Homo-oligomer: A and B are copies of this chain.
Amino acid sequence: MSQFKDATAIVGIGQTEFAKSLDATEMELACRAVLAALDDAGIDPSEVDALGSFTLETTDEYELARSCGLGEIVHFAQVPYGGGAACATVGHVAMAVATGVANVGVAWRSRKRGARTARNWSQVSQRVDDQWKYSRPYGLVRPVDEVALLTRRYMHEYGATRDHLANVALACRAHANRNPAAFMFERTMTREQYMEARWISEPLCLFDNCLESDGALAAVIVRADRARDCRQKPAYIHAYSQGLSTQHQVMVDYHSANPLRGCSWPVAANLWRQSDFAPKDVDVAQLYDAFTPLILLSLEAYGFCAVGEAPAFTENGALQLGGRLPINTSGGGLSEAYVHGMNLVTEGVRQVRGTSTAQVEGATVSLVTSAAAVPTGALLLRGD
């Protein structure tokens, strides 16, 4: 088998509106996003034969196929670990297409806050019978509590301050303010507002946390030769990998010799191994931002700076449009919508198309990552 590099491309993206609460079911939202993505690609639903989704997804593959009028489905894979899944749902479908097992793949995520699987950590009842029993009784109940402890450690080790976390939150908000589809399009934020926000889990305040939103997104993947004939400029899947830390537990790996070296490290190593590019070549990055400190960890894991240097990296507007590495240019999970990172994939595609509302001029190398705090994945997209 020859190479996977640039063998497939994302040729269609679609989404629903994002809101605090939508009336449609998760299945209806999923269908709307998938059909919008196919329409964007100019591909008939009946051509779709491969599907990728989250284990958290509540819409079964056959229900989506029936409801959208898809073709004979010959590939379907699911990805576990919540926010770690988005890039891999695309990657697995790309593998099925690249190997010729399938021809047209769709990856999607539909999420409603009130759904059965949307906030599974909040649904643990009387008994905690798995590994969570080692942390929950001590107050690590919500994901934010787990990440807050990790953030304390990071601040202690490297001198990061709340100002560095604010740099992340303010960049995402500034980009959302340019994106009419973003939840926070009309809501600006100042550093003072950030500093005065209430604690959610100290040292993380309200604005260090992603939004809670309803919505769905989808992406369409075909082989590169077909991509060149599609309606949109292709976003080639240049490199792709997943990764995990064997010391992982819940949202972090407290048991590792170095808990700050999380699941993103093996992803990054395998991504760059396959790539013609290095971190310095990346024009724009969509870094999973359920919580602001994950951006600092990701900047180090993916090699944009050395370990401990991420706080300084965020200074002088580096993460904003016009800066050294604009991130989350649609607003990300912090300010566009929180749909388990599927909106980072679609924005990564828009950047290589040149159609973002916070477009990095001439962007051709576009990184997208999934959650740094759990077993995860990443996509390196390339324009022509």
Interface residues of A, Cβ cutoff 8 Å to B: 1-4, 7, 55, 60-62, 65-66, 70, 72-80, 88, 91-92, 95-96, 98-101, 223, 240-248, 266-267, 269-270, 274, 375
User: In the complex, what distance in Å separates the CA atom of A92 from the CA atom of B80?
Assistant: 14
Q: Tell me if B242 and A74 are in contact (CB < 8 A).
A: yes
Nearest-Cβ distance from residue A293 to partner chain B, whole angstroms: 21
For residue A54, which residue of chain B has the nearest CB? B78
- For the complex formed by this chain, how many copies does it contain in all? 2
- For A223, what are the chain B residues with a Cβ–Cβ distance below 8 Å? 1
- For A88, what are the chain B residues with a Cβ–Cβ distance below 8 Å? 76-77
**Of listed A72, A75, A95, A98, residue having the most chain B CB within 10 A:** A95
Q: Tell me if A240 and B95 are in contact (CB < 8 A).
A: no
Q: Tell me if B4 and A101 are in contact (CB < 8 A).
A: yes
Nearest-Cβ distance from residue A241 to partner chain B, whole angstroms: 5
- For A78, what are the chain B residues with a Cβ–Cβ distance below 8 Å? 55, 77-80
- For A98, what are the chain B residues with a Cβ–Cβ distance below 8 Å? 1, 95, 99
- 9 A-B pairs with the lowest CB-CB distances in the bound complex, closest first: A4-B99, A66-B246, A95-B95, A72-B266, A74-B270, A77-B77, A62-B248, A1-B7, A65-B246
- Residue among B61, B101, B241, B270 making CB contact with A80, cutoff 8 Å: B61
Q: Tell me if B246 and A74 are in contact (CB < 8 A).
A: no
Q: Tell me if B242 and A73 are in contact (CB < 8 A).
A: yes
- Residue among B4, B92, B248, B274 making CB contact with A1, cutoff 8 Å: B4
- For A248, what are the chain B residues with a Cβ–Cβ distance below 8 Å? 62
- Residue among B55, B95, B96, B101 making CB contact with A55, cutoff 8 Å: B55
Q: Tell me if B375 and A74 are in contact (CB < 8 A).
A: no
- For A270, what are the chain B residues with a Cβ–Cβ distance below 8 Å? 72, 74, 101
From DSSP, what is the main secondary structure of chain A's interface residues? Answer: mixed
Q: Tell me if A4 and B100 are in contact (CB < 8 A).
A: yes
User: In the complex, what distance in Å separates the CA atom of A269 from the CA atom of B88?
Assistant: 27
- Residue among B3, B60, B100, B266 making CB contact with A73, cutoff 8 Å: B266
Q: Tell me if A76 and B375 are in contact (CB < 8 A).
A: yes
- For A240, what are the chain B residues with a Cβ–Cβ distance below 8 Å? 101
Nearest-Cβ distance from residue A193 to partner chain B, whole angstroms: 38
- Residue among B1, B62, B242, B246 making CB contact with A76, cutoff 8 Å: B242
- For A79, what are the chain B residues with a Cβ–Cβ distance below 8 Å? 76-78
Q: Tell me if B267 and A74 are in contact (CB < 8 A).
A: yes
For residue A95, which residue of chain B has the nearest CB? B95
Assuming the A-B contacts A4-B100, A100-B4, are A76 and B65 also in contact, with contact meaning beta carbons closer than 8 angstroms in the complex? no
- Residue among B2, B7, B73, B267 making CB contact with A244, cutoff 8 Å: B73
For residue A91, which residue of chain B has the nearest CB? B101
For residue A67, which residue of chain B has the nearest CB? B246
Instruction: Show 8 residue pairs from A and B whose CB-CB distance is below 8 angstroms, ordered by the A residue.
Output: A1-B2, A1-B99, A1-B100, A1-B223, A3-B100, A55-B55, A72-B243, A72-B269
Q: Tell me if A99 and B101 are in contact (CB < 8 A).
A: no
User: In the complex, what distance in Å separates the CA atom of A304 from the CA atom of B78?
Assistant: 31
User: In the complex, what distance in Å separates the CA atom of A305 from the CA atom of B66?
Assistant: 29
